[in-house]
Amino acid sequence: MQTYRTMTEIAVRALRDQILKGNLKPGARLIPVKLEGELAVGRVAIREAIRELSGSGLVESIPNKGTVVAAPPTLDEIKEIYKIRSIIEGKAAIQGTQGVSAEDLSRMEVLHQEMTDTSLPSSDYFLPNQEFHFILYRSSGWRYLNKLITQLWDHVLAFRSFHHLTQGDYTTFNLEHKQILEAIKSGDSKEVGRLVQKNLQSGLNQILDQMKMKATELR
């Protein structure tokens, strides 16, 4: 039973990565027999992965067409997603501060150092950034809330991929991550929550700025 779950998890990650990297475009049909060869994962695991991603909103079933990659959120929806993220991630950060272990903190510091590497490509910034935040959130012990946070992150990444947005300048984010680490070390959970919300606002501001630039270029 454990092996089967592991194969399903592998299929979920492989399919999710293909969607979030833009290799599978919105509207693309998800055919298990075809994906089996492309992802090198068994067909049964792929079917389970498609079912799981359907629950997260990354894929959807369309009558007479089958299961396809879902369209990303609109910009207005992204703004609402960030409002929700600010509330629940702020709370998860406050709760998680009390549960962060020395090992967790050490890992977050390593990730922070990775993200300060100026040669790091924009496409490689997202994974350590996500892990940095999720170490803190998972320390809250709130499993269901973390599932929701994961889904919201996925929709933002899908939006970024669809519109070809890059992470851009890391300076602000890295400074805020450093402040988050310092607040965790001091045990100031409320400050950690506030700083996480500030970091999210910086992420939204960057998306809005890049979308404005793209709109200007198209005029």
Per-residue pLDDT of the chain (219 residues; tens, 9 = 90+): 344 457 888 999 899 989 988 889 999 999 999 998 888 888 999 999 999 999 889 999 998 889 999 999 999 999 999 999 999 999 999 999 999 999 999 999 999 999 999 888 877 888 899 999 999 999 999 999 999 999 999 999 999 989 988 767 789 999 999 999 999 999 999 999 999 999 999 999 999 999 999 888 776
The model's pTM:
0.88
The DSSP line for 148-207 is HHHHHHHHHHHHHHHTT------HHHHHHHHHHHHHHHHT-HHHHHHHHHHHHHHHHHHH
In CATH terms, the superfamily for domain 75-218 is GntR ligand-binding domain-like (1.20.120.530)
Contact 162, 22 (CB under 8 A): yes
Q: Where are the domains of the chain?
A: 2-69, 75-218
Domain 2-69 classification at class level:
mainly alpha
